[in-house]
């Protein structure tokens, strides 16, 4: 689904990632770990086309990213759901409208999707918060809303960048459970996290591979959990 072949990325004259080869196969679950500043977020951005590699090749759903124009890239990105680290929302819109934004941007009829939207918000435990404004949400609620927004378009791949970085352990477990459920539905999942305790806790929920970025290289940090 997403393939990186000998990918490198340089920023500000320095090399951040070097010779990275990675294949995210359909239905797989991967954790991506490494120290702060090692390039986890950069690698995630390369996977969905927000950044272009300075060397190597990236193929997404069989298409070489270098050969896609802007419109083709926009269509392809609808098949990838991204949970960003900073969880940005439009503060003047209620929660339900924020979660439905990808539908609005893509030109889909939000009214026709209202049933799916309601079911999705209930699935992440926010069925009673549909009218709440983002500033009224707790950190855990914001993270779950971000996950709901990422999957509203039924993507085939879900990329989550430090989704549990700003929540307590109980909420981290809840978010991990939701991600594991997505994987059981057949979604390909890649989670960037520095929380090794969380990765170990995933053993009872999902079969995952652990990748680690170290010294600009991507390594297999462990076998199936």
* pLDDT tens sequence across 167-207: 888 888 999 999 999 999 999 999 999 888 889 989 889 99
Tell me how far apart the alpha carbons of residues 84 and 86 are, in angstroms, rounded to a whole number: 6
**Residues β-bridged to residue 9:** 17
User: Model confidence over 72-83: pLDDT tens digits?
Assistant: 988 898 999 999
User: Model confidence over 30-81: pLDDT tens digits?
Assistant: 999 998 888 999 999 999 999 999 999 999 999 999 899 888 988 898 999 9
pTM for the complete prediction? 0.92
3-state secondary structure the chain: CEEEEEEEEEECCEEEEEEEEEEECCCCEEEEECCCCCCHHHHHHHHCCCCCCCEEEEEECCEEHHHCCHHHHHHHHCCEEEECCCCCCCCCCCHHHHHCHHHHHCCCCCHHHHHHHHHHHHHCCCCCCCCCCHHHCCHHHHHHHHHHHHHCCCCCEEEEECCCCCCCHHHHHHHHHHHHHHHHCCCEEEEECCCHHHHHHHHHCCCCEEEEEECCEEEEEECCC
- Six-digit token string for 64: 């070489």
User: Model confidence over 20-34: pLDDT tens digits?
Assistant: 999 999 999 999 999
- Please compute the mean of the pLDDT values over residues 88-101 and round it to a whole number: 95
């Amino acid at each position: 689904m997403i393939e990186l072949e000998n990918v490198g990325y340089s920023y500000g004259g320095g090399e951040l990632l070097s010779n990275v080869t990675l294949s995210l196969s359909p239905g797989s679950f991967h954790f991506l770990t490494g120290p702060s500043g090692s390039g986890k977020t950069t690698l995630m951005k390369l996977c969905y086309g927000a950044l272009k590699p300075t060397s190597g090749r990236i193929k997404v759903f069989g298409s070489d990213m270098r050969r896609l124009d802007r419109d083709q890239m926009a269509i392809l990105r609808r098949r990838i759901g991204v949970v960003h680290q900073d969880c940005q929302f439009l503060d003047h819109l209620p929660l339900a409208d924020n979660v439905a934004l990808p539908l609005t941007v893509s030109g889909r009829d939000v009214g026709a999707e209202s049933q799916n939207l309601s079911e999705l918000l209930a699935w992440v435990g926010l069925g009673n918060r549909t009218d709440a404004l983002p500033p009224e949400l707790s950190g855990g609620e914001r993270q779950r809303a971000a996950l709901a927004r990422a999957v509203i378009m039924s993507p085939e791949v879900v990329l989550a960048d430090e989704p549990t970085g700003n929540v307590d352990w109980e909420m981290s477990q809840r978010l991990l459970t939701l991600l594991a459920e997505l994987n059981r539905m057949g979604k390909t999942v890649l989670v960037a996290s520095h929380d090794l305790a969380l990765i170990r806790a995933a053993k009872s929920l999902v079969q995952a591979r652990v990748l680690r970025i170290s010294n600009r290289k991507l390594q297999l940090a462990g076998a199936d959990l």
